[in-house]
Chains A and B, each alone.
Chain A
Amino acid sequence: MEIEVNIDFGTIHKTSQVVRLLSPCFELCAEDVCKLNIHLRPNLQYDLIYPEYLAVVVACYKQMKHVGVDIKLDIEHDPTNARVRYCQRLDFFKHLEYDTSERFTRHSSASRFLEIRQFSKQDNHDVFMEVLNIIRDKLNPSLELFALLVYCFWEVIDNIDIHSESGIGGILCAQHYPNAEILRIVFVDNGIGIAESMLRSEIADYSEHSELELVELALEKGVTSGKGMGNGLYYTKRFVEHNKGSSLAVLSSESLVHIDSQGLSTAKCANWKGTIVYLKIKTDNFVDYKAIMEDPDGDPNDKLVAFIDSLFE
């Protein structure tokens, strides 16, 4: 089997568009051929390339390599163009094993972005500490915001580690936009996806739910495949809901769930093998983590609370 995939970044303005273009790649088996043509020509309409677009392409490329697909890659690019230099600086070409000349001097990334990084169970801690160091040292967040970011990002990484069964581990990329006070960060895996992970649960039967319902359910309190309490993504969702200007998008298999302070929306999308979690965080808002962690339906058990409080000195 041979397919041809054309990605023109001049026409891309949503991650789901990239997913739609790459989706046929996941049908390929060992020794199938994929002609992957990437165009990085300038475009005034969609001049910005967001890091999540690049991370998604890299993850798909690595997944095809992982299963033994013969990839014939061509990247149309002008090394003097700013968007091409940006892609080079994020190590896009390097991850795609594509030779290109860099006509600029590499400076430290630590002020604005984290290059596209692949992580595994073995090194996810080290990679993640780099992310946290960038956030702490350069974004100068409040302690409350920093702690919440640590909390949320770890939950996503842990989900990839524990649930995803991804053959390529995870792909991570982040960019800070200081003028807008926005941090964009994306986590991509090529595992079994959220719905399949829940359907394999040994503690609950989710078989009556559609795939889209399962992805939405995964963001609810206490919903788990059995390997945790099922609250990590729930509180990540509450953080985004409480932080105006932020959003969380979870794209898994053929389902997309998007949350922001306006509410939650769902949509069907082209198939992605695995899960993409994308967070856009407004970094200059006050965040009240106690309100976020409060359980709106909770019924505090006084004896239990007293017991837990007795542990602290």
Chain B
Amino acid sequence: MATQVIKISEIGDNLGTRKMGLELFNTLSALLGSGNKIVVDFSDVDALSHSFADESFAKLMEETTSLLKDGRLKFINANDFVKTILRKVIQDRMVNSRREFA
């Protein structure tokens, strides 16, 4: 299994629109679908919006939960704010879609 590192700061250091999130979702989804392990590096990223995080990471979780349970996605170098937003957004979407974590 190949490991792909996605450096988020190459997209931007403050990440915003749903459209930008969708582009990242497509990239991550394709990599996971090809059997890769993904490491998402948030170094040099100050902040991100709810919309961006929802469209990219939360939807990825929702649509590929089974693939992600074996540790094929990791977040590194996220500051506290980014961590807070990611936790919040992923939780909101998963609860909304009633995913079960047995």
Residues of A near any B CB (own CB < 8 A):
121, 124-125, 128-129, 132, 143-144, 146-148, 150-151, 154-155, 157-158, 161-162, 222, 227-229, 231-232, 235, 289-290, 293, 295, 300-301, 303-313
Residue among A143, A151, A308, A313 making CB contact with B48, cutoff 8 Å: A151
Shortest C-beta distance, A150 to chain B (Å), equals: 4
Q: In chain B, what residue has the closest Cβ to A311?
A: B75
Collect the chain A residues with CB atoms within 8 Å of residue B51's CB. Answer: 154-155, 158, 162, 228, 232
Nearest CB of A to B87, in Å: 5
The answer to whether A158 touches B16 (Cβ under 8 A) is yes
6 of the cross-chain contacts (CB-CB < 8 Å) are A150-B14, A150-B16, A158-B16, A162-B18, A289-B81, A313-B76
Given A229-B92, A229-B93, A310-B71, list of 18 further CB < 8 A pairs?
A: A125-B12, A143-B81, A147-B46, A147-B79, A148-B47, A150-B46, A154-B16, A154-B17, A232-B50, A235-B50, A289-B81, A293-B84, A300-B91, A301-B94, A304-B101, A307-B69, A308-B91, A312-B78
Tell me the B residues contacting A by CB distance below 8 Å.
12, 14-20, 46-52, 54-55, 58, 68-69, 71, 73-76, 78-79, 81, 83-96, 99, 101-102
- Specify which of A144, A162, A303 is in contact with B81 (CB 8 Å cutoff): A144
Cα–Cα, bound, A162→B86 (Å): 21
Q: Which secondary structure characterizes the binding site on chain B?
A: helix
Residue numbers in B under 8 Å from A132 (CB-CB): 14
Separation of A195 and B102 alpha carbons in the complex (Å): 40
* Bound complex: CA A310 to CA B72 (Å): 11
**A307 touching B50 in the complex, CB below 8 Å, given contacts A129-B14, A228-B18:** no
Is B87 within 8 A of A308, CB to CB?
Answer: yes
What residues of chain B lie closer than 8 Å to A157, measured between beta carbons? Answer: 16-17
A311 to B70, CA, bound (A): 10
The answer to whether residues A293 and B85 also contact, given A146-B47, A154-B52, A229-B50 and a CB cut-off of 8 A, is yes
In the assembled complex, the Cα of A155 lies from the Cα of B84 at a distance in Å of: 16
Contact in complex: A305, B87 (CB < 8 Å): yes
A215 to chain B, nearest CB (A): 19
Q: Which residues of A contact B74 (CB under 8 A)?
A: 311-313
Instruction: Specify which chain B residues have a CB less than 8 angstroms from the CB of A309 in the assembled complex.
Output: 87
List residues of chain A with CB within 8 A of the CB of B54: 228-229, 231
Which residues in A have their C-beta under 8 angstroms from that of B46? Answer: 143, 146-147, 150
Q: Are A293 and B17 in contact (CB under 8 A)?
A: no
Distance between A120 CB and nearest chain B CB, rounded to angstroms: 12
| A contact residues around B55 at 8 Å (CB) | 228
Q: Which of B20, B86, B102 lies in contact with A308, CB distance below 8 A?
A: B86
What's the Cα separation between A129 and B12 when bound, in Å?
A: 9
Q: Measured between C-beta atoms, what is the minimum distance from B101 to chain A in Å? A: 4
Say whether A229 contacts B96, CB under 8 Å: yes
- Give CA–CA (A128, B96) in the complex, Å: 30
A147 touches B49 (CB 8 A): no
How many angstroms between the C-alpha atoms of A154 and B20 in the bound complex? 11
When distances are taken between beta carbons in the complex, the residues of chain A under 8 Å from B84 are 289-290, 293
Q: Which residue of A lies closest to B84 (CB)?
A: A293
Q: Is the CB of A155 within 8 A of B49?
A: yes
Kindly state the separation between the CA atoms of A154 and B45 in the bound complex, as whole angstroms.
Answer: 15
Contacts of B99 in A (CB 8 A): 304
